[in-house]
Amino acid sequence: MAIKSIKLEIPFQKILSIIDQLDPDEKLLLRKKLEKQKITTWQERFGKALQRLGKKNIRYSEKEVAEDVKKAIVEVRAGAKN
């Protein structure tokens, strides 16, 4: 079977009105799909990872974490030189 591509030009307001008609579950699914496709920098991803880890690991002091981060940076940079 042959594959055909078509290009649709839909006004943005029309897309918004269609989204408004979705039920809450469909809107949630759409949001999750869009968030997966969102392009982020490595700094943003690193920041989000730190936030998640911070919530899960409240038993460690900020000083301990800072020391571990410094050690990790030294190790990564040393590995990059080799």
Q: Could you say which DSSP state residue 4 is in?
A: -
82: confidence class by pLDDT, cuts 50, 70, 90? low
The verdict on residue 2 lying in a domain is no
**Alpha-carbon distance values, 63 to 3, 37, 42, 69 (Å):** 59, 35, 24, 10
**φ/ψ (deg, to 5) at 77:** -65, -35
The total domain count for the chain is 1
pLDDT of residue 19: 93
pTM over 0.85: no
List pLDDT tens digits, range 18-57: 999 999 999 999 998 888 877 778 888 888 888 888 788 7
Question: Would the CA dihedral through 47, 48, 53, 54 be positive or negative?
Answer: positive
| Measured distance CA(13)–CA(45) in Å, rounded | 31
73 found inside a domain: yes
- Are 16 and 24 contacting, i.e. CB atoms less than 8 angstroms apart? no
Residue 80, pLDDT > 80, answer: no
Residue 22 lies in a domain: no
Question: What was the pLDDT predicted at 47?
Answer: 85
- State the residue range of the domain holding 78: 41-82
Q: Let me know if residue 82 belongs to a domain.
A: yes
